């Protein structure tokens, strides 16, 4: 499914606003959208909100055989899922060009930069190593997926803990978190991607483009850098020619943004660690309110229960005393059955009354016929159902 193209009016409006150094959400040229980092209840689950763009990263591990070319190193694997929930242009169960592109960029940013010590993931040389798998799910698409994915992936890797193992001879024993504390990964640095969008052949520059700005841009430059100002990867797309001064200018801007984002990640990890140590609510439980079920909640007025007994005594005193007590209840209507000694049963009285009324009606009809016969008129009814013969005497 192809995305709906922008109309000419929308395109002209966006380009005109960018020329005047104005953006749709009120940001300045070099401003990032508000970034929020939260964690799940398990280690290695991270959510990143970059404006309306929402990404989830989940890290998992398993013991596998190493690669023949690197028998002493663990394996780092990345997988990006473009969910149709994020955008109607994403198709489920099929790798699009965008997903392949994002996957390669994430591998260049994190795996090729050697940010993780893969040799520490070796358990038995040439036989068993840890394979670390990072699954990145895009939950909502509003532009700049690469930056949000890189932040979510590196934060999830820093938050992840692998199980502890011991080796006795040829046997490898894996311990559960209850038996031994899990071990964090050995991470050297945190590479973070910063995206720059260019308009009108590089005349205008924007940081952190949203989805509508990505549709009208001429080219995109992505710089992955750590807080030590070391460029881990750099890649441009869109076929735009950039000058050396433009690239240097973008790298200086990226160094400032990377230091701010790294500080935010460190603060989020410290807060989560402190909350888990103190036994406070962390992960999903931190964002849950006290009253979990709010769908059927009703606003009820508070009731005062302090003087309930006094008010009950007043009501009892003001109530009238019944004149006489009725031992056997009187059945007011027929058709009610009661079982017990001294109780009246009116079950079937309706039928008896109906039978008595029928008998009285029949008797009255007979009396009328006798009186008519005494008057001298005799009515004879023939066998035929159609004709009636009346004989007058």
- Residue 124 belongs to some domain of the structure: yes
**In this predicted model, what pLDDT tens digit does every residue of 23-57 receive, in sequence order?**
888 888 888 999 999 998 889 999 999 989 999 99
Domain-embedded: residue 318: no
Task: Tell me the C-alpha distance between 348 and 336, whole Å.
Answer: 8
Model confidence at 192, pLDDT cuts 50, 70, 90, reads very high
Q: Is residue 147 part of a domain?
A: yes
Q: Which domain holds residue 58?
A: 20-195+255-286
Categorize the per-residue pLDDT at 137 as very low, low, confident or very high, splitting at 50, 70 and 90.
very high
Percent of the chain whose pLDDT exceeds 90: 25
Query: Cβ distance 231 to 202 under 8 Å?
Result: no
In the DSSP assignment, the letter for residue 110 is I
Got the DSSP string for 234-291? Answer: EEEESS----HHHHHHHHHHHHHHHHHHHHHHHHHHHHHHHHHHHT---THHHHS-SS
What pLDDT does 366 receive? 59
Residue 27 inside a domain? The answer is yes
What whole-number distance in Å separates Cα of residue 192 and Cα of residue 232? 9
Cβ(123)–Cβ(63) below 8 Å: yes
CA 282 to CA 287: how far, in whole Å? 8
More confident call, 257 vs 377: 257
Helix, strand, or coil (residue 143): coil
Tokens for 169, please give them.
């001879």
Give the whole-angstrom CA distance, residue 105 versus residue 342. Answer: 93
At 144 the three-state DSSP class reads: coil
- The answer to the question of residue 309 being in a domain is no
171 phi/psi in degrees, rounded to 5: -95, 135
DSSP code of 53? E
What tens digit of pLDDT does each residue of 9-32 get?
988 898 888 888 888 888 888 889
Per residue in 273-295, pLDDT tens?
888 888 766 665 555 444 444 44
HSE at residue 18, side-chain half, CA atoms within 13 A, is 25
Q: What pLDDT was estimated at residue 267? A: 93
What's the rounded Cα separation, in Å, for the pair 250 and 194? 9
79 domain-assigned: yes
- Domain contains 230: no
**What pLDDT score was predicted for residue 362?**
66
- Give the pLDDT mean for 88-93: 78
In angstroms, rounded to a whole number, what is the distance separating the alpha carbons of residues 239 and 290? 53
Q: Please answer whether residues 227 and 302 qualify as being in contact, where contact means their C-beta atoms are separated by less than 8 angstroms.
A: no
The pLDDT of residue 60: 93
pLDDT for the residue numbered 309: 63
Residue 203: helix, strand or coil by DSSP? coil
Res 350 pLDDT > 90: no
Q: Is the pLDDT of residue 254 over 70?
A: yes
Tokens of 276: 């888990």
Contact, 221 vs 250, CB < 8 A? Answer: yes
Question: Quick check: 1 pLDDT over 80?
Answer: no
Residue 303 has pLDDT above 50, yes or no: no
pLDDT of residue 202: 76
Question: Is residue 181, in this structure, part of any structural domain at all?
Answer: yes
Domain count, the chain: 1
**What gap in Å lies between CA 165 and CA 170, rounded to an integer?**
13
Instruction: Assign residue 188 the CATH number of its domain.
Output: 3.30.230.70
């Amino acid at each position: 499914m192809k995305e709906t193209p922008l109309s000419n009016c929308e395109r002209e409006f966006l380009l005109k606003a960018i020329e005047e150094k104005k953006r749709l959400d009120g940001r300045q040229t070099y401003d990032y959208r508000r970034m929020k980092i939260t964690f799940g209840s398990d280690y290695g689950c991270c959510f990143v909100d970059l404006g309306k763009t929402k990404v989830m990263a989940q890290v998992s591990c398993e013991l596998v055989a190493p690669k023949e070319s690197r028998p002493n190193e663990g394996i780092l694997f990345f997988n990006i899922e473009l969910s149709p929930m994020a955008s109607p242009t994403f198709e489920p169960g099929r790798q699009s060009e965008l997903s392949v592109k994002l996957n390669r960029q994430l591998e260049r940013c994190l795996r090729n930069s050697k940010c993780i010590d893969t040799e520490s993931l070796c358990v038995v040389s040439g036989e068993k190593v840890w394979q670390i798998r990072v699954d990145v799910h895009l939950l909502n698409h509003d532009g700049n997926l690469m930056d949000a994915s890189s932040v979510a992936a590196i934060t999830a890797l820093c938050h992840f803990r692998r199980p502890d193992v011991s080796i006795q001879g040829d046997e490898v024993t894996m311990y559960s978190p209850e038996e031994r504390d899990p071990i964090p990964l050995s991470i050297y640095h945190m590479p973070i991607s910063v995206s720059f969008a260019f308009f009108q052949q590089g005349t205008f520059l924007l940081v952190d483009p949203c989805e509508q700005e990505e549709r009208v841009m001429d080219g995109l430059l992505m710089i992955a850098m750590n807080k030590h100002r070391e460029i881990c990867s750099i890649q441009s797309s869109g076929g735009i020619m950039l000058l050396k001064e433009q690239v240097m200018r973008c790298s200086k801007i990226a160094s400032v943004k990377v230091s701010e984002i790294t500080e935010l990640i460190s603060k989020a990890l410290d807060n989560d660690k402190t909350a888990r140590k103190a036994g406070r609510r962390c992960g999903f439980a931190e964002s849950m309110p006290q009253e979990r079920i709010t769908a059927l909640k009703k606003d009820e007025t508070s009731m005062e229960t302090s003087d309930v007994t006094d008010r009950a005594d007043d009501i009892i005193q003001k109530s009238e005393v019944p004149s006489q007590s009725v031992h056997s209840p009187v059945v007011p209507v027929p058709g009610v059955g009661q079982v017990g000694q001294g109780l009246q049963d009116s079950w079937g009285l309706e039928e008896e009354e109906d039978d008595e009324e029928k008998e009285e009606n029949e008797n009255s009809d007979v009396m009328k016929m006798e009186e008519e016969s005494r008057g001298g008129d005799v009515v004879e009814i023939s066998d035929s159902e159609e004709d009636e013969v009346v004989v007058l005497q």
